[in-house]
Amino acid sequence: MNDYRAVLLRGGTVLPMDGSRSVLTDTDVLVIDDRVAAVGSGLAAPEGALVVDATDGIVMPGMIDTHRHMWQTAMRGYGADWTLTQYFVWYYLDHGTLFRPEDIHAGNTLAAIEALDAGVTTVVDWSHGLRTVDHADAAVDALEAIPGRHVLAYGNIQQPPAQWTGAPEFRDFVNRRITGDDLLGFQLAFDVTGDPAFPEKPAFEVARDLGVPVTTHAGVWGATSDDGIRLMHEHGFMTEQTIYVHAASLTADSYHRIAATGGSISVSTESEQSAGQGYPPTWAIRAHGIPVSLSMDTSVWWSGDLFSAMRTTLGADRSREHLSAHAQDETVTHCSLRADQVVEWATRGGAAALGRPDLGSLATGGKADVVLIKNDDSPVSFPLLNPYGHVAFQAQRGDVHTVLVNGRVVKHNHKLVDIDLKSARRAVESTVEHLRGTMGEDAWQRGMNPDVPETKVLDNPYTYTDYRSAATHRH
Ligand SMILES: [Zn+2]
């Protein structure tokens, strides 16, 4: 399956994501080696090519997630009822330190497989559990073993950034493992506390020295604020490559600084809605003209696909627009955020954030990271009237039929190709066993089930006979 030199996706509805937001019906996409060779009608299949019938399907570029803590996928779903408070206690103070290199490997492996399955062909692994270089080697071993495109955003929440970025073994790791492979990018990942002494300065200098971008959780309620942005700006560390994650509780001053220096914001709407970093900021970002990409943050809470990110981002933006209009006794008659915009953020937006104009579109000559959404057995697959709306609101990961990364077929006919899911499962089970066993059952259960605050039920001025009688019985 992976030996095809050419792949022809025949007769699909193609979203080229070339900036025009056009829709090409009954169109072929030809991939040769690692590139998109042609997009057009009636293209001839080269000898020996894999021909995929894309009729009734949507062909689009692979999606790009610019912020995912892949190691945490080993604990999928555990934190469903968390806020940031429980998250910080778990990963920063207590149990994040229990992750061994093999646990990072297990989480990264499963996350990388999960991404491919959902048509997410590029993931920034915001890897802040790298307590030692052995952990970092394990992270990269996992990323290299799965045929997705990854950017290792190296981080270590257990040490100040100046300390771990200054360690000789860190430099040695960069020299050994970051070799310019097109499928493995590199960034530094750390947060800026806002301490006026700006202790993160040496870490920014390391990034500058290495010539790599910095990604940082900015505008996280209770954790990072305008002070961090101001310090970065005053010291000249805000660049076009900087990715600000969340940026959800910042004032206009910070947005002005981000816009003026050309960086982008990674919006994690599902995360911001549950965890409490601030309201998903697309409404504010729009007003400042800042480029956007999408991310899903961590599978410890949320789903690892960008369909849900697109859907929830549209919902949050529109919900806020209606709510603020209603507060002024006004009516929103036209939504500001459109379906084609979130599809663009999930593809071209991510590529722009990563400085990769060869990704995120189906332009001829670009890298062949391609997704076919097609599910003939699904009643949700037709009629296909509004393809951008279909991707954002109708499609889901089970509809991802075929995925190519760098021209290689990694999923076909709804099945992952050459992926050992059984061994990924065994590894994650052994990580869960380790964490659960080390913490003890009681701490494990309490971590998963935070206390629910008491709700005061308001007095109701209305009465209803049957209801009251039922209520009397209850009390
Ligand atoms: Zn995050």
Please report, to the nearest 10 degrees, the dihedral formed by the alpha carbons of residues 65, 71, 76, 81 taken in order.
-80
Alpha helical stretches, state H, 354-396: 387-389
Ligand 1 center to 67 CA (angstroms) = 6
Residue 107 confidence (pLDDT): 98
- Report the pLDDT value the prediction gives residue 90, as an integer from 0 to 100: 84
Q: For position 472, what pLDDT does the model report? A: 54
As given in the structure block, the two tokens for residue 130 are 């790298």
Give the pLDDT confidence of 36-56 residue by residue, as tens digits. Answer: 999 999 999 999 999 999 999
Residue 97 to residue 71: CA distance in whole angstroms: 12
Calculate how far, in angstroms, residue 423's C-alpha sits from the geometric centre of ligand 1.
Answer: 27
- Residues in the 5 Å CB sphere of ion ligand 1: 297
What is the CA(267)–ligand 1 centre distance, in A? 10
Cα 150 to averaged position of ligand 1 atoms, centre (Å): 16
Indicate if the pLDDT at residue 275 is higher than 80. yes
Assess contact for 112 and 150: CB atoms under 8 A: yes
What is the arithmetic mean of pLDDT over 306-330? 98
Measured in angstroms, how far is the CA atom of residue 323 from the centroid of ligand 1? 27
Mean pLDDT over residues 245-266, rounded?
98
pLDDT at 389 over 90: yes
Q: Are 371 and 17 a contacting pair, CB within 8 Å?
A: no
Angle at 31 between CA 30 and CA 36, to 5 degrees: 95
pLDDT tens digits, 433-457: 999 999 999 999 999 999 999 988 9
Distance 107 CA to ligand 1 centre (A): 15
What amino acid is encoded at 174 in this protein? Answer: V
Q: Return the ∠ at Cα 334 (arms to 268 and 255), rounded to 5°.
A: 40
pTM to 2 decimal places: 0.96
78 CA → ligand 1 middle, Å: 16
Rounded mean pLDDT, 263-290: 97
Task: Tell me the C-alpha distance between 472 and 475, whole Å.
Answer: 5
Is the predicted pLDDT of residue 475 greater than 50, yes or no?
A: no
Mean per-residue pLDDT, 308-328: 98
d(CA 306, CA 18): 19
Say which DSSP state 381 is in.
G
Nearest C-alpha neighbor of 13 from the set 406, 398, 391: 391
Find the 130 Cα to ligand 1 centroid distance in Å.
Answer: 14
Q: Is 371 exposed, middle or buried (0-12, 13-18, 19+ CB in 10 A)?
A: buried
- Residue 464's pLDDT is 72
pLDDT over 90 for what percent of the chain? 92
pLDDT per residue over 186-204, tens digit each? 999 999 999 999 999 999 9
- How many whole angstroms from 292 Cα to the centroid of ligand 1? 16
How remote is the CA of residue 272 from the centroid of ligand 1, in Å?
10
pLDDT of the residue at 4:
81
Residue 431 has pLDDT above 70, yes or no: yes
Q: What is the pLDDT, as a whole number, of residue 249?
A: 97
**249 alpha carbon – ligand 1 mean position (Å):** 15
Span from the CA of 268 to the centroid of ligand 1 (angstroms): 8
> How much distance in Å is there from the Cα of 217 to the middle of ligand 1?
6
List of E strands, 166-207? 184-189
Mean confidence (pLDDT) of the chain: 95
- As a whole number, mean pLDDT of residues 342-353 equals 98
Instruction: List the structure tokens of 384.
Output: 């296909």
The residue assigned the tokens 């109701």 is 460
Per-residue pLDDT tens for 78-120?
Answer: 999 999 999 988 887 777 899 999 999 999 999 999 999 999 9
Statement: residue 240 has pLDDT above 80: yes
Ligand 1 centroid – CA 468 distance (Å) = 48
CA dist., res. 236 & res. 256, Å (int): 15
CA 382 / ligand 1 centre spacing (Å): 36
State the distance from the centre of ligand 1 to the C-alpha of 287, rounded, in angstroms.
24
Distance 297 CA to ligand 1 centre (A): 5
> Is residue 473's pLDDT more than 60?
no
What's the gap in Å between 69 CA and the centre of ligand 1?
A: 6
Measure the CA–CA gap between 31 and 50, rounded to whole angstroms: 10
Per-residue DSSP letter, 358: T
| Three-state secondary structure call for residue 41 | coil
Give distance in angstroms: CA of 144 to centre of ligand 1: 22
For residue 463, the model assigns a pLDDT of: 80
Q: Does the pLDDT of residue 466 top 90, yes or no?
A: no
User: ω into residue 379 within 30 of 0, thus cis?
Assistant: no
